[in-house]
Amino acid sequence: MQLDVPIIGIIRGITAEFFPALMSAAFEAGLQALEITMNTPGAPEIVARCRPLVPAGKLLGLGTVRNREEARRATEAGAMFLVTPNTDPSVIGLATERRVPVIAGAFSPTEVYAAWRAGASLVKVFPCGPVGAGYIRELRGPFDEIPMLAVGGVTRNNLADYFAAGVAGVGVGASLFGAEALAAQDPVAVAVNVGKFIASWERWRS
């Protein structure tokens, strides 16, 4: 299943009380996809409660899905996509069976190819922080047909480097929403930060 999203916002450790306001602010600022990590307390319940509030054309998913049991819980909660930190064919298989797009985590060339062959919609190259955009460019040499999502260490300052290297998208956490805005639970500041990040991407695209 295809998944065409240039920027995925990653939220870890958010409270159930603040998430609806954050989701609304981020989507209104132009973000297309939002991921809550499974190791956030009550993550599946947050998704189940907020799924009916997701506007048309937007996506709410669950990330840090590490095994088949977590994948089952995530899909039953109504996640519109799954993201994994590792390559687990059983997770990819369950998501495929349930027709839920899955972004499978990988790092080495072998893992990247295995994740794609198993049926991942995108391959999440993680963590990118220690290796940078140059590593993506090298992977794209033999695997130019595999759409890749860069995650870990992506910021507004290096965003263009990753897209120039050939990624289909990026996954971003605090550098997208703003660490201070998240700590203060300030949806207005979140919207401003998301808008600036998306504007940087749109400048590169143009």
Q: Which residues are tagged catalytic?
A: 35, 124
Q: Hey, is 94 helix, strand or coil?
A: helix
Q: Are 34 and 12 in contact (CB under 8 A)?
A: no
What whole-number distance in Å separates Cα of residue 23 and Cα of residue 204? 25
Structure-derived torsion over alpha carbons of residues 29, 35, 37, 38, reported in degrees to the nearest 10: 130
Distance between CA atoms of residues 104 and 85, nearest Å: 7
* CA pair distance 49, 26, nearest whole angstrom: 17
The type of residue at 180 is: E
For residues 206 and 188, give the distance between their C-alpha atoms in angstroms, rounded to a whole number. 27
